[in-house]
């Protein structure tokens, strides 16, 4: 069960830790500064989707009583993979990942329109 439940076609996701690139530049840059060379798309771990998201995304929610599968589409392959592995990796547009900080907890959400794919583990 999610500790944060998204609504309005949003998904709760977990960002993967970013690899730090050592900078040998003589210019000092603050550690929390965001560099402009970030890639447009990246990977996030799927946590849960709002109930009004596309059916495929809702079907990946762990808290559903029974996972709806066997629709005869490629969605079945990914839903079954999520069920077997316990997680899914989504390809999203990095600039559209929103960060919410509530009571010293940080949550990352993304609207379903900015999910461009799913990776099979």
Q: Domain for residue 45, yes or no?
A: yes
The reply to whether 101 falls in a domain is yes
Q: What angle do CA 98, 19, 2 make, to 5 degrees?
A: 40
The answer to whether residue 84 sits within a structural domain is yes
Q: Domain for residue 23, yes or no?
A: no
Give residue 98's domain range.
10-16+39-119
3-state secondary structure of 47: strand
How many domains are contained in the chain? 1
88 contacts 81 by C-beta, under 8 angstroms: yes
Q: How many helices, marked H, and strands, marked E, lie in the chain?
A: 2, 6
Q: Strand, coil or helix: what is 43? A: strand
Q: Tell whether 106 is covered by a domain.
A: yes
Q: What is the pLDDT along the chain (121 residues), one digit of tens a residue?
A: 468 899 999 999 999 876 555 555 577 777 766 666 578 999 999 999 999 998 878 877 877 765 555 566 666 666 666 667 767 889 999 999 999 999 899 999 999 999 998 887 6
Q: Is residue 34 part of a domain?
A: no
Asked whether residue 85 is assigned to any structural domain, the reply reads yes
Strands (E), 1-121: 10-15, 41-49, 89-93, 98-102, 105-111, 115-119
31 located within any domain: no
Rounded to whole angstroms, how far apart are CA atoms 16 and 10? 18
pTM above 0.75, yes or no: no
Torsion of CA 10, 97, 43, 28, to 10 degrees: -170
């Amino acid at each position: 069960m999610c500790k944060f439940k998204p609504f309005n076609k949003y998904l709760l996701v977990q960002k993967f830790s970013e690899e730090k690139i050592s900078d040998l530049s003589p210019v000092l840059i603050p550690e929390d500064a965001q560099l402009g060379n970030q890639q447009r798309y990246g990977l996030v771990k799927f946590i849960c989707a709002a109930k009004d998201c596309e059916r495929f995304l809702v079907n990946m929610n762990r808290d559903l009583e029974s996972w709806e599968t066997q629709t005869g589409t490629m969605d079945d392959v990914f839903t079954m993979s999520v069920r077997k592995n316990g997680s899914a990796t989504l390809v999203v547009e990095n600039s559209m990942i929103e960060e919410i900080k509530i009571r010293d907890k940080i949550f990352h959400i993304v609207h379903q329109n900015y999910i461009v794919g799913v990776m099979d583990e």
